[in-house]
């Protein structure tokens, strides 16, 4: 796969015009865009639809977490824009039904396991007495059993998870940093090339690109790191 196609840029902006400003610069250097809650609450499906003109796959990262009926209706509503991926929190134990599977067609349902802003200490505070790796692995098994197309996990778990994957199961990985000293609010991070080498199908990169004075250079550096680790 062409190295740029691994890279999805997280457009965490409230204003649609801010998304477009950066997209005009980077659209030819990335594989897709991720739209999360900050963007979605401000702009909704209409805003997401307007970004489709750039011709990039759209990863709708809504982290749906509710009772099954509500999750299913939310997915159906989102299908209006034909997103390439939608996220659902694994801790709501959503089961992908035959009905929704027929409706989603080309949209992949991706299970969110453990946020990259959390680590073992945070899990213990929440009363979960296992390591983040074991916890994520357990949720991945549920995702496979519940007929998801893939999961979101930190790069730290990749090497363990990839040993037990069914064919075509996706691993989407945020927490990507070229400079390990700049973590922002992330706790479980890794370089882009190492993440791809360890089994990530998609890496999600936001602030290192969008907050940079030269976002294209940052993306080119990410691509270079991927290429080096491929060889």
pLDDT single digits (tens) 136-185: 999 999 999 999 999 999 888 888 898 878 989 999 999 888 755 444 54
pTM score, whole prediction:
0.91
Question: Domain span at residue 10?
Answer: 3-230
The Cβ of residue 97 has, within 10 Å, a number of other Cβ atoms equal to 13
Residue 119's Cβ-count burial label (10 Å; 0-12, 13-18, 19+) is middle
pLDDT 10s digits, 40-53: 999 999 999 999 99
82 is catalytic: no
Calculate the alpha carbon distances from 129 to 15, 113, 125, 158 in Å: 40, 16, 9, 21
Q: What average pLDDT does this structure show over 115-143?
A: 89
Confidence (pLDDT) at 118: 84
Q: What average pLDDT does this structure show over 105-133?
A: 89
CATH number at residue 36: 3.20.20.70
Please tell me the distance from the alpha carbon of residue 103 to that of residue 82, in angstroms, as a whole number.
11
Say how many domains are in the chain: 1
From the list 63, 183, 197, 224, the catalytic residue is 63
């Amino acid at each position: 796969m062409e190295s740029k196609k691994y890279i999805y840029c997280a457009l965490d902006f409230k204003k649609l015009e801010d998304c477009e400003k950066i997209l005009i610069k980077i659209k030819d250097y990335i594989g897709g865009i991720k739209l999360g809650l900050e963007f979605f609450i401000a702009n909704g499906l209409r805003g997401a639809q307007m970004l489709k003109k750039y011709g990039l796959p759209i990863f709708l990262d809504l982290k749906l977490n509710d009772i099954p009926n509500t999750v299913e209706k939310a997915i159906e509503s989102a299908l209006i824009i034909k997103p390439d991926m939608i996220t659902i929190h694994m801790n709501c134990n959503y089961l992908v039904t035959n009905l929704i599977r027929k409706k989603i067609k080309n949209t992949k349902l991706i299970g969110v396991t453990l946020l990259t802003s959390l680590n073992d200490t945070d899990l213990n505070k929440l009363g979960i007495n296992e390591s983040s790796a074991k916890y994520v692995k357990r949720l991945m098994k549920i995702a496979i059993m519940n007929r998801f197309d893939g999961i979101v996990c930190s790069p730290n778990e990749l090497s363990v998870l990839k040993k037990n994957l069914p064919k075509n199961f996706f691993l989407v990985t945020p927490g990507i940093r070229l400079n390990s000293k700049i973590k922002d609010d992330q706790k479980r991070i890794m370089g882009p090339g190492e993440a791809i080498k360890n089994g990530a199908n998609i890496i999600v990169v936001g602030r290192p690109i969008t907050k940079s004075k030269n976002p294209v250079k940052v993306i080119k550096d990410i691509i270079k790191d991927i290429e080096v680790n491929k060889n």
